[in-house]
């Protein structure tokens, strides 16, 4: 198994989990399973409490041999690996006493049960915490614990529609810019993973606070809210520029439809994603590996893309003709994508979900583990790790439990000892705008991260109270993406159409809308670490910090003398966390990614789209950008927990692509067990039992509604609401199995009905009848017309220097005792370049204003 430099040759097997010694009781089903999986992977003992007969997720396919069996559900295995199983009937006194006993021996209750379920049985959060003030309760619900839609029904698809994901995902429109195909949803409980990741790192922050004070708290995460702010670009584009985003094939959604293609078919019908058109990089490479087409520097191009991404600058969109001609000449296995990456081009294969399980890079990193399954007398390979750490490891040796496998646990488990708080909180600790303390009081982050996948992570630490100091140098600014509207907020609020930006979206500027949403709550300094005095300042800053975070290409920090080995000579317990495209250690350490590139390589782009012969649609809301940020935050906060418990710092080697592999577990198992390769099914999962289920047209241009019937009773109700009771009487649709067999005809009937209705009226009607349904919402819908999000205060108004007062996304998890704040300790939006130089250098290093000015004249800062 791989080790990381600085581990003193320790193997992964000898390292503890970051949450070793923490016990979690998981109640409920499916909504919380991903969060529990992550906590178990980090070393917590997760006890899954199941009802008699088992969790309903045990009945979800695919199954071993395609024979339904509660003990052989590959879905259950994927999301419950590493947990224990105890069956309790909470409708009996014995069952309720059993849950109290387990909770009394645990630090965390992860509650994914329906609203009111535990309360009706005397086991609600308030009651349990009154008896045990040290208990942390993490509550995950579809729509929140309050608000007009708190009792609405949802499925993964309905959540992804209402949350905005689907309207950012799908295929290019026709030449007249009309969308002739529906938006496309991600697959396989994607909504629950997005919310679960955010709840997981916030729970660990609450554990850190609990160790210091002895007190637990109540945490609440609404899946709808977590998703609604999870799209990369459209939200702030609408908030600040009143500019809608449009979906594109295997590319970021954008304000305009780009002419820059990025996905190309090989000779044998597979796909390659090639995202670089830069003439200086592309020309020499195609001279050697291509057919030598003429390459343009872009100066002669009449139309410009609305969003210029790394690798696109300095080249015309028509350069991709040469790329297409080249890739068409190769078989999939022969495409020289590795050589392209070495040449600085972002080329990757669009992988099937299972293929990464056999890639040398991930095997060297220990990303996958072979887990023993005694019931099959074999081992199966799972993705089990999201990063490499020098002092902690991911747990990887336990398969999902059989039903009630740990029934005797209650006979041996001991009540949790009273917490002896470590009084490390200063008496004069800083209070937030809420008048309450912070979960991460005393943590300081020296933040060299940039772009979303890394900078977004430290945003969450700032919301939890860490002092995050963003380091920039004017020759390598973090892109300000998305501009400041001409006329400011007044112009935006009066606008009835898109507002022009004061500067191009990707050419810098003081603060832009997207940058502001990725970096609120931070302090900003300028620092030139290539200057001897600047490097000395950086080293002195490290000595005053808890964490150093960075998102550069592998080797950059080391070249400056700021790698982990250098940093821990300055501060022995420093946490050094870096995130790159593929990870430093392994075969592809220098390879580059952006969101769509990472998604293609991870196998997730292939999981989204219509069946062949359509190409993969990709995840245009840029799943692995925000999701990479969540996972990087998880890496840092779990390392802070380890530091709190052991006093040890460590190095973290994380990668954007690696994060996506956790979403491929089910098809990876299906391939190993049943020999089945994932096949795209549009907006229906190939393993789904719901029918009908899909996105159907409603009145209006490019408007769609998600409908999901989970049972025969749902189908009867839907037929009645449609005014077609004869549908339910039709033998072709009488059972779920029959509806699946005739789903083309079924979808046609539903679509003919829905397209005659206003989507919002229809959604309200169906939800009122108990059917899971939701409009595929745009950013405008979410910002202006969603009463549930408004009730949850999902946006926070913050002032940003030279930008004004604007909303940014609030943290998705509510904390009862240490509420988060998007503005962090500074109660502000993103900092301008070097905004806090005087303040930070004086506070941390004792420099006077004159000394700071002198260093600036020398270009050290």
Hey, which residues are catalytic here? 189
Place of tokens 């081992």: 379
Collapsing DSSP to helix, strand or coil, 539 comes out as helix
Alpha carbon 308 to its chain's center: 23
- Is residue 315 a contact partner of residue 279, using CB atoms and an 8 Å limit? yes
Among the listed residues 284, 279, 262, 272, the one whose alpha carbon sits nearest the alpha carbon of residue 343: 284
Order across the sheet with 218-222: list the strands: 84-87, 45-50, 23-28, 108-112, 136-141, 218-222, 813-815
329-337 contact pairs (CB < 8 A, 24+):
329/267, 329/291, 330/266, 330/267, 331/266, 331/267, 331/268, 332/266, 332/267, 332/268, 332/269, 332/270, 332/272, 335/266, 335/272, 336/289, 337/272
Burial category of 385 from C-beta neighbours within 10 Å (exposed 0-12, middle 13-18, buried 19 and up): buried
Place of tokens 């943290």: 811
**With left for phi above 0 and alpha for psi between -120 and 50, is residue 694 left, alpha or beta?**
left
788/764 Cα distance (integer angstroms)? 13
Collapsing DSSP to helix, strand or coil, 2 comes out as coil
Write the DSSP string, 122-169: T--HHHHHHH-TT-EEEEEESS-SSSTTTT----HHHHHHHTTSGGGS
- Is residue 219 a contact partner of residue 137, using CB atoms and an 8 Å limit? yes
Collapsing DSSP to helix, strand or coil, 293 comes out as coil
Around 459, how many Cα atoms within 13 Å sit in the side-chain half-sphere? 31
Order across the sheet with 347-349: list the strands: 263-265, 271-274, 347-349
Place of tokens 């198992």: 669
Q: Any idea of the CA torsion for 147, 153, 155, 156, to the nearest 10 degrees?
A: 0
Alpha carbon 555 to its chain's center: 26
Residue 340's alpha-carbon distances to 128, 234, 346, 623, in angstroms, are 57, 31, 7, 24
- Is residue 752 a contact partner of residue 138, using CB atoms and an 8 Å limit? no
Rg value, the chain, Cα: 26
Bridge-based pairing state of the strands 650-655 and 523-526:
unpaired
- Is residue 447 a contact partner of residue 458, using CB atoms and an 8 Å limit? yes
Write the DSSP string, 389-446: ESS-----S--PPPTTTTTTHHHHPPPPPPP-----S-TT----TTSS--TTTT-EEE
217/209 Cα distance (integer angstroms)? 10
Residue 511 gets which letter from DSSP? Answer: -
604/627 Cα distance (integer angstroms)? 12
815/405 Cα distance (integer angstroms)? 33
714/265 Cα distance (integer angstroms)? 41
408/399 Cα distance (integer angstroms)? 18
H-helix segments, 486-559:
488-494, 513-518, 532-543, 556-559
Helix (H) or strand (E) holding 193: helix 190-213
């Amino acid at each position: 198994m791989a080790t990381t430099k600085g581990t003193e040759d320790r193997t992964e097997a000898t390292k503890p989990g970051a949450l070793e010694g923490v016990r979690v009781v998981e109640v409920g089903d499916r909504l919380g399973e991903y969060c529990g999986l992550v906590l178990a992977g980090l070393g917590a003992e997760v006890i899954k409490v199941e009802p008699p007969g088992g969790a309903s997720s045990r009945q979800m396919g695919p199954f071993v041999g395609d024979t339904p069996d509660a003990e052989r559900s590959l879905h259950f295995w994927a999301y419950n690996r590493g947990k224990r199983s105890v069956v309790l009937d909470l409708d009996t006194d014995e069952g309720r006493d059993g849950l109290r006993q387990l909770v009394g021996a645990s630090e965390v209750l992860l509650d994914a049960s329906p609203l009111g379920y535990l309360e009706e049985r005397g086991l609600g959060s308030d009651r349990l915490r009154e008896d045990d003030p040290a208990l942390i309760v993490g509550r995950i619900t579809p729509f929140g614990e309050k608000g007009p839609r708190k009792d609405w029904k949802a499925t993964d698809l309905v959540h992804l529609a209402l949350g905005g994901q689907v309207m950012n995902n799908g295929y290019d429109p026709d030449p007249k810019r009309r969308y002739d195909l529906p938006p496309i949803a991600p697959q396989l409980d994607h909504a629950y993973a997005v919310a679960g990741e955010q709840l997981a790192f916030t729970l660990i922050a609450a554990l850190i606070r609990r160790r210091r004070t002895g007190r637990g708290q109540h945490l609440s995460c609404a899946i709808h809210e977590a998703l609604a702010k999870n799209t990369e670009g459209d939200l702030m584009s609408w908030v600040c520029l009143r500019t809608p985003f449009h979906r594109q094939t295997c590319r970021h959604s954008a304000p305009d439809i780009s002419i820059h293609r990025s996905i190309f078919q090989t000779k044998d019908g597979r796909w390659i994603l090639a995202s670089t058109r830069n003439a200086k990089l592309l020309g020499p490479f195609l001279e050697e590996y291509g057919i030598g087409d003429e390459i343009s520097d872009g100066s002669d191009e009449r139309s410009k893309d609305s969003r210029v991404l790394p690798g696109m600058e300095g080249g015309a969109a028509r350069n991709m003709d040469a790329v297409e001609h080249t890739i068409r000449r190769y078989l999939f296995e022969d495409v020289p994508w590795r050589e392209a990456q070495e040449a600085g081009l972002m080329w990757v294969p669009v992988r099937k979900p299972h293929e990464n399980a056999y890639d040398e890079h991930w095997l060297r990193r220990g990303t996958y583990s072979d887990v023993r399954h005694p019931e099959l007398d074999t081992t199966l390979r799972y993705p089990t790790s999201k990063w490499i750490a020098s002092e902690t490891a991911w747990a990887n040796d336990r398969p999902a439990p059989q039903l009630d496998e740990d029934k005797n646990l209650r006979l041996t488990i001991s009540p949790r000892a009273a917490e002896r708080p470590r009084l490390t909180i200063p008496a004069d600790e800083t209070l937030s705008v809420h008048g309450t303390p912070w979960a991460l009081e005393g943590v300081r982050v020296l933040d060299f991260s940039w772009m979303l996948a890394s900078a977004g992570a430290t945003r969450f630490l700032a919301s939890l109270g860490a002092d995050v100091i963003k380091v920039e140098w004017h020759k390598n600014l973090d892109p300000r993406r998305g501009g400041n509207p001409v006329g400011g907020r007044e112009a935006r609020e009066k606008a009835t159409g898109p507002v022009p930006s004061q500067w191009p979206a990707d050419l810098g500027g003081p603060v832009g809308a997207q940058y502001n949403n990725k970096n609120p709550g931070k302090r900003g300094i300028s620092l030139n670490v290539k200057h001897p005095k600047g490097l000395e300042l950086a080293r002195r800053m490290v000595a005053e910090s808890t964490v150093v975070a960075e998102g550069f290409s592998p080797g950059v920090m080391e070249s400056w003398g700021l790698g982990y080995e250098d940093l821990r000579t300055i501060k022995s317990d420093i946490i050094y966390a870096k995130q790159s495209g593929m990870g430093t250690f392994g075969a592809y350490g220098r390879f580059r990614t952006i969101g769509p590139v990472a998604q293609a390589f991870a196998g997730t782009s292939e999981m989204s789209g219509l069946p062949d012969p359509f190409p993969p649609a990709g995840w245009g809301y840029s799943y692995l950008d925000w999701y990479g940020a969540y996972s990087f935050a998880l890496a840092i906060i779990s390392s802070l927990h380890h530091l709190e418990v052991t006093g040890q710092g460590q190095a973290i080697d994380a990668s954007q692509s690696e994060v996506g592999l956790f979403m491929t577990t089910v098809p990876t198992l299906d391939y190993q067990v049943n020999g089945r390769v994932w096949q795209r099914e549009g907006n229906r999962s190939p393993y789904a039992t719901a029918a009908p289920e899909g996105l159907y047209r409603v009145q209006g241009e490019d408007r769609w509604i998600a409908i999901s019937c989970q049972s025969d009773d749902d189908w009867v109700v839907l037929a009645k609401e449609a005014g077609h009771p004869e549908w339910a009487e039709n033998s072709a649709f009488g059972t779920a199995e029959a509806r699946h067999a005739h789903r083309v005809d079924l979808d046609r009937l539903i679509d003919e009905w829905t397209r005659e209705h206003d989507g919002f009226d229809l959604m309200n009607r169906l939800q009122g009848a108990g059917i899971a349904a939701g409009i595929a919402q745009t950013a405008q819908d979410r910002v202006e017309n969603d009463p549930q999000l408004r009730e949850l205060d999902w946006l926070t108004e913050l002032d940003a220097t030279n930008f004004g007062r604007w909303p940014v996304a609030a943290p998705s998890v509510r904390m009862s005792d240490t509420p988060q704040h998007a503005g962090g300790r500074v109660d502000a939006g993103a900092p301008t370049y070097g905004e806090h130089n005087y303040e930070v250098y004086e506070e941390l290093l004792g420099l006077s204003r004159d000394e700071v000015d002198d260093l600036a004249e020398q270009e050290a800062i």
